[in-house]
Chain A
Amino acid sequence: MKINEKLINSINKLPTLPTIFTAITEAIEDPYTTNTKLANIILTDQSTTLKILKVANSPLYGFHGKIDSISDAILYIGRNEVKDIVFTLSVISMFSKEIKIKGFRPVDFWAHSIAVGVISRNVANAIGEKKLENYFLSGVLHDIGKIIFLEYAGEDYKKVFELVKEKNCLIKEAEKEILGITHEEVGKLLAEKWRIPESIQDVILFHDNCVKSNTSNNNLLISIVHLSNILSHILELGYSGYDIIPKPNTLIWDTLKIKKGTLTELKEKFINDYTSTVKLIML
């Protein structure tokens, strides 16, 4: 239980998100903010500006280099998507990339997270979902708890991995046993602290087994992240610290109503989008 408390403490001590992100969020929440004003806020951070433009022009969003200004980016991909990109960049830069557990590099973890984000967005698009915002961010954040464990409970987290190998059990079972709290729960705590939308909080908490969700809309988001997580394991995109490929919950097929062959068709796009997005975000 001690570790548990320590972790929760560390979450509370976790630095707030960078000012640029806070500024953007506040600006977006203010209904009187014009796109020009929002663009000017983003423009104060040069590296963020460039990355947003790069991501906006990447195959993931499909504008192929047509967006050449932040105001264009806001106009074409939307305020929330721009915010999500900034969020992703901010979160990744917040955590250390130091390798604390052999065989589980933070970089691989982020690569996996980005893969889930990329695939989620693509799957949502493929099944005809119109509102595509939050899919990418949900994917990126779905396993956020693990990085907290890595950062704040490195040595103990090593034991978790050892236990997983030893007992061949689920990672969260080992987490519960050694840390007293699962990465899903920790992730949810962090998400609450960061005031991330509830739908994404649900993704963090439920993406693994895909049970329980309040609204049908949320259900779709959770199901897609659940599936994307598995797909990224199958395609070996990044590494989540867990070698066993989980089986998808059969309930999701009813929710997603995904056409046969769609995923196979998309495989190349998943990989290409993933490769380009990882390069853009991680480098």
Chain B
Amino acid sequence: MDNFNKILSSKINLNDFLDIISNSINNNEELISYTLQKISKIDGHVCTAICLLNNITFDFDIIKTEPQSYNEHSQQLFEKLISNNIIEKVFETNEIVEWNNEEISNIYIIPLQNKGKLEGLIIINLNNNFSLSQKIKDELNLLIKIFGLIYFNVQTQNEQINNNSNELLITLNETVKNLYKIFNTINEGIVLTNLNNIVIDLNNAASKLLGIPKDEILGKDIRDYLLFLDKKLFKEEIVNNEEAILINSEGSPIPILFHSQKIKVDNIEYNEITIIDITERKLMEDKILEAKYELENKVKIRTQELYALTKQLKDAIHKKEEAQKDNLKLITAINQSNSLVFILDTNLNIQYVNESVLNKTNYDVKELIGKSVLELNCKEQYSENILKLKKRIIEESQSSSELNLISKKGKVFWVWASFAPVKNSEGETINYISIQEDITRIKEYQEELIKAKEQVEKSLNAKTILLNKISHEFRTPLVSILGFSEMLEYEINDHELIEMVFGIKEGGNRLLTSLDSVLLFSELESSTVNLNINKFNIVPIINKIIDYNLQKVNLKGIRIINEIEDEQIALVDKDYFKVIIHHLVDNAIKFTLKGEIKIFSNIYKESEKSFIKISVKDTGIGIKEEDMNYLFDAFKQISEGTNRNFDGFGLGLSLVKRMTEMMNGKIEVESKLNQGSTFSVIFETIN
């Protein structure tokens, strides 16, 4: 502070010093220049030199002179000072040393000390006519001291800085080395090229990727190792991770990520290129892509399958719906059917009944389910018939029966019940179905009919009895009429009278025949006939009948021919056979107005049995084809109506047919209108 005050008070003005201090705090060169300039302002100044001790040679080196052109002059001056041992004097004092002789005069040497040690000299040379006043000397002394203080302080600082920076350099070196190591060990290839794409440096990874030693790559164009497709890669300032293709030493393409940017080192521009092998990544991508395609295909297939399934499902649902509709139809139909429908289990217990059942029986569904269907029968459940029916239902595939059911209210009604098993696909009976029709009405009608029939039968019987009685009552007087008229025939001779008697006899006979027929008919109707069928020669009977009718035939003017041989056996009832033939012959005579009647027989075999066929052929009026069906009806004459030309009740053929059939025979007719008819009866015979 003291020194500083002195400076303030000195002639060397404040601003100058402040300049010195502010300008030279960190820069000794400037400090020296400034100091020398200040000194040069002293009146009569010729030159000044600053010498500093060289720590190595221990000589003083002239650092700077003012003016600079006096550098050589100063050197010579300094050597003279040394040779005259003047410098030594400076070592002995810390004051300004003055030196004057003939050769050299007006020399002032100011010692420059640092921490009491001489570190330098300031040598000032003035013109001969000038000298330094004590005051200026003091000021100079002070100035130099300040100079020294600042100078050596800065120097120390600089030295310290220098020391520090050395250490830094070492650390830096190591860091760089480490970085380089890292540079060489990382997996990413890094290539440094100049702006002409010539490779300047590359790391191990890059060389490995290329499969080429580093030395061989250095100095080559990086583009030689890339596929030309990547031309644009070298045109842009920054290429950010573009996919590119690297060609390795074997010429194989390798997929890479290419990253490039321009960097500046010591004002020189380079391309810094990063190469990353993405083979693995590509493979992964491929795998992912493959998986994706696979997945998509699977999805497609699944979708198709799903679609097919959906369609199937839809179809199935549709079918089911249709089936349900059908079922519904069926169920509705069954339910609303007028028939009684039961579905039964295998023990014939009710599982289902339709509405008709409920309506008819007045039971609730609950009351019926589980009950045996046969319980509804009004007769005792375990009656013999019901048990039989149950057995039949179970044993036979289908069975039906009339049942007499009774409702809850006690109303009895008849049903026609049919039972059928319901089988599953394996043929096992799983249910029975019973459909029962209410036949009460029919049953009632039936009963009415039976009653009516019985009544009719009764009245028929009465009629027969009546007829029997009547014919008996008729017969007795008739026989006497006939007897007496026959007697009378022989007693009288008057032709007219005989004629009359004949008429009585004829009428009587006809009445008798008719009566016989009626009696026979009623006998047959009452079915109380006892037949006596035996082997029997029929010829005598036929002959007798022909004989009996000869008179009648002759009267009519027709012929009757018997062609039957001597003996013919038939299995017949003698009496009935006689009636049959009689009727046939009588009929033939009755309906034949001219021509002939022929009776003949023939024998034939059929299925090891012998039969005899007896035919009566006439040339009478014949029968219309449409009338054939009525031929054998009782009381019906074909020629019925207003044109009734023929007598009789019309009982004849009906009786013949009945009697023939009663004797196991057959009757046949062949006839043509106006040409004649042939009636034949067939009976069994013996060979």
Contact = CB atoms under 8 A, between A and B. Distances in A.
A97 B227 contact: no
A280 to B, nearest CB: 11
A241 B229 CA distance: 15
B251 interface: yes
Contact of B227 (A50, A68, A69, A108): A108
A200 B286 CA distance: 32
B321 interface: no
Contacts of B292: 68
A278 B229 contact: yes
B278 to A, nearest CB: 9
A282 B244 CA distance: 11
Nearest to B286: A50
Interface in B224-275: 227-229, 231, 243, 245, 247, 249-253, 255
Interface string B299-313: 010000000000000
A98 B253 contact: no
B590 to A, nearest CB: 98
Contact of A237 (B229, B243, B251, B252): B229
Given A68-B296, A107-B247, A108-B228, A279 B290 contact: no
A251 interface: no
A279 B246 CA distance: 11
A69 B300 contact: yes
Chain B contact surface mostly = helix
Contacts of B231: 236
B251 A236 contact: no
Contact of A279 (B245, B286, B289, B300): B245
A111 B296 contact: no
A55 interface: no
Given A68-B297, A278-B227, A99 B251 contact: yes
Nearest to B297: A69
A44 interface: no
B512 to A, nearest CB: 108
Contacts, number: 66
A279 B255 contact: yes
A239 B229 CA distance: 10
Interface residues of A, number: 25
A98 B243 CA distance: 23
Contacts of A278: 227, 229, 245
A50 B228 contact: no
B379 interface: no
B251 A105 contact: yes
A106 B296 contact: no
A277 to B, nearest CB: 10
A275 B244 CA distance: 9
A130 to B, nearest CB: 29
Nearest to A99: B251
A282 B251 contact: no
Interface of B: 227-229, 231, 243, 245, 247, 249-253, 255, 282, 286, 289-290, 292-293, 296-297, 300
11 contacts: A50-B286, A68-B297, A97-B250, A97-B253, A98-B250, A105-B251, A107-B227, A108-B227, A275-B229, A279-B245, A283-B245
Interface of A: 46, 50, 53-54, 68-69, 96-99, 105-108, 111, 236-239, 274-275, 278-279, 282-283
Instruction: Rank and list the top 6 A-B pairs by shortest CB-CB distance, nearest first.
Output: A97-B251, A68-B296, A99-B251, A282-B253, A283-B255, A98-B251
